[in-house]
Each structure stands twice: as structure tokens, then as C-alpha cells.
Amino acid sequence: MHFEGSQTIAAPIEKVWQLLMDPQQIGPCLPGFQGIEVEDAQHFKALVGVGVGFVKAKFTMDVSVVDQDPPTKATARAHGVAPISAVDVTSTMTLHDEGSDTTQLQWAADVVVSGTLASLGARLLTSTARKMTGQFFNCIARKLEEPAGNTGS
């Protein structure tokens, strides 16, 4: 499955880049996020619960930043396993400075699912993946656009 989109974020490109490269910041934006273990600046593991229709799975995702050109482009790969399924994701994010403390984020993700989740049918799987991807990038935008000192409580 291939997904892509773009989002305008009311934050300077350096701030957007810094957040996107911080696993502690982006981990909680993963839908179904349950925990994170940072190995180093380019590798982390995330525990994520996913539900597609009536099937629920808890994935351990190994995530690696495999290429980056600060502060404009990064590519990450993730491999996740659950008792009933597996998922592989390659995602690319490109940032464009739009001036006036505004950044355009363009993203693309290629997702391959195998196992029980893959058997649910492309339509159900695609709509769930599209919804989860949107939630992730909306969370990133909210974190970057929060007024300074807002703790979110």
C-alpha cells in the first residue's frame, strides 16, 4: 500500500526537523502507542497496539532512520512483528521552508502487511492505515503548533 500527503505546519523548519528526529517526541504520536525504547539517535523500538476490524495485534516495531539530509529530508524504515502478523514500512519526509515560521511537510509511506491482518482485505486495511497515518501527522502538527508553556493538560 502506498500513502502520501502534505501538511502545512506553523513552525520554523528547524523546529519541525528537531521534533521529527526525536523518538521520544514522535513515539507518542503513533496511534496505539504503548511504549518506546531508544537505542541511539537513528534506532528505536516502539510497542504499538493496532486494531483492524475485529482483529487486534500488538506490534514491536524496530525503527531506523536510514537516510537524512538535515533539515530537509529523512527516510525511515520500520519492521514490526506481532504473534499474528508482520508489517514493513518505508517512509520519507521532506520539509520545505515556506517563510514566516511555516514549514510544508510532504510525506510518503509504503506499507506491506502479512499474516492475519493482511487477510482482512485491502479496503479495510487501507482505510485503517490511512486513518492511522493521518492521526500521526496531525499529532506532529499539534505538538509543533502548541503555544510555548502549554503542557497539554
Q: So what's the pLDDT on residue 153?
A: 41
Range of the domain at 80: 2-145
Residue 52 forms part of a structural domain:
yes
* pLDDT tens sequence for the chain (153 residues): 898 999 999 999 999 999 999 999 999 999 899 999 999 989 999 999 988 878 888 999 999 999 999 999 999 999 999 998 999 999 999 999 999 899 999 999 998 989 888 887 777 888 888 888 888 888 998 999 887 554 444
Residue 70 forms part of a structural domain:
yes
Into how many domains does the chain fold?
Answer: 1
Q: So what's the pLDDT on residue 148?
A: 57
- Residue 148: exposed, middle, or buried by beta-carbon count in 10 A (0-12, 13-18, 19+)? exposed
Residue 152 forms part of a structural domain:
no
